[in-house]
Structure 1
């Protein structure tokens, strides 16, 4: 440990002492020792330790963004050496900077202000409110990527934004169905700045409600597996149960932290949005067991403690990886969540579901309409 962090000096530099305390304070030292010997992240940390005074987020951003870089950053943040920052926002801004740098000038001219003054500025506002998620970062990157591909397609048609007409736009939309919706933000932005002809539209069908559901017997059988099958991994049981009981998306589940769990009046409560919901005793025991056996990397005293931590220190789980893991164990997510939402709407008005589970009120209303109920039904009852 001292050899790694001292960088060849006689003692560990003062800026790195908090990290030494975190690593030596691990309950089980053997995984830490194995990590020090074999991990590429440990080797990277050793190289960075030779210049501790230059160790900051910008220095790490300049490195290739590999797993080792993310892991070292997480360690330094949890140890308090680097300040906390919104990593989802940082992922967006760093990706955008690298992407924009590789564009030809005639593409960079419209894409740069669209990315920096429209997409990233809105992301900063959402981040300031604490609402910029990993899924939001992926969506914003996809919108910028769609704009770049749209301009590249215009080149193949020997067209510019100023030449763009509705017929050509229809051709683009028909030939690129997966990019059609993602192209709309850029088209609106370009039209508002008079870079294109006014009145251009991309026909996009309204959001369709899902058609994948589970029959009640299958849904209940999978829930019983999650709560009672000890052969399943603990994280799979917890995530699967939360999906089937409360219709929570995985993007919300991976954001749950230990401080969202509390006990009162002999019950265990989980606060997803603003109001706590009581947990079934079996699920409460699974969550308590998960928090007790949490094998995530060592963390500083102020580091965020996620219910289902990711591999990198201080980072939440990747929802896409968690989805694949649930599917691998025979617990599909989409159909189960759709079925759970329909069951919830049979017992609760959409306003209550929105408050309890953190679902956007408009989304809850649309689900209620799909289920044959409306806000007006609840108002009439009241």
Structure 2
């Protein structure tokens, strides 16, 4: 924080480049604590999607099996008894591995349609949405306007949030949204881990980073985890097959 003050920077404007410059200059002796602080600021919306370079996170341990993940995604897309915002947030986690801290900051103008389909730009490049999710987001954008009375109207400089809080000009609490998802039987961490693991097995890390805003170091770690798991699976199959012929 002292470094930010010295460089006339606000914490909310801190970029990944700023963080890495500070790391190179300060060379902190307790990286685990600094990494925890960055995680805390990300979680509370004080910073956005920052990664602490060089800090090796523990390997994820909580996952859903494929049937549970598919069943929960199906509920999000098709169960009209669920609240609309819960359906959208749950689908974004299960399809794209988005963290709740980012979901609460998504804005309506990141969504657009053309002759080829409906798209959402999560980071640098637009992502083609499944038609069912596109319809849910369209409905949310339309009905969400009624909440604008609780806060200032959206402008080009301050676009309306996709899942507005109260007042509508402020993002909702990630902790509260996570709790609501859990109460509806839609866990967040396990579902996100499962989605990221699946993507890492199918897409190069740079594509995951550019499409979904996952830091490249994180995307690379997920790719390595998926590769190791796939290699272990093949080794187990080979061992099992060899045993049949002994």
TM normalised by structure 2 equals 0.71
Taking the aligned partners of 2:179 and 2:102, their CA distance within structure 1 comes to: 16
Whether 1:371 and 2:226 are equivalent positions in the alignment is: yes
Deviation at 1:266, TM superposition (A): 3.9
Q: Note closer, same or farther for the CA distance 1:278–1:122 as it changes in structure 2 (3 Å cut).
A: farther
1:118 paired residue number: 3
Which secondary structure state, in structure 1, belongs to the residue aligned with residue 113 of structure 2? Answer: strand
TM-score normalized by the length of structure 1: 0.47
Higher normalized contact order (CA 8 Å, seq sep 6+, divided by chain length): 2
**2:97 aligned partner:** 247
CA distance in 2, matches of 1:304, 1:220: 33
**Aligned residue in 2 for 1:193:** none
* Counterpart position of 1:322: 177
2:191 is the counterpart of 1:336: yes
TM-fit CA distance, 1:184 = 8.2
For the aligned residue pairs, the C-alpha RMSD in angstroms reads 2.9
Report whether the alignment pairs 1:352 with 2:237: no
Distance 1:221 1:313, change over 3 A: closer
Structure 1, unmatched stretches of 5+, are: 1-114, 137-172, 174-179, 187-204, 374-382
Aligned length: 195
Unaligned stretches of 5+ in structure 2?
Answer: 20-29, 38-54, 229-246
Judging changes above 3 Å, is the alpha-carbon distance between structure 1 residues 257 and 332 closer, same or farther for their aligned structure 2 residues? same
Instruction: Name the CA distance, whole Å, in 2 between partners of 1:214 and 1:318.
Output: 25
Any idea what the Cα deviations from partners look like across 1:326-377, whole Å, max 9, x if unmatched?
001000000000000111112111110000000111111111111117xxxx
Task: Tell whether the 8 Å contact from 2:90 to 2:181 is kept in structure 1 after alignment.
Answer: yes
Q: Which has more radius of gyration?
A: 1
**In the alignment, does 2:33 pair up with 1:182?**
yes
Show the counterpart of 2:120.
Answer: 270
Distance 1:314 1:353, change over 3 A: same
Structure 1 Cα separation of the partners of residues 12 and 164 of structure 2: 21
Relative to structure 2, which stretch is displaced further, 210-219 or 287-296?
Answer: 287-296
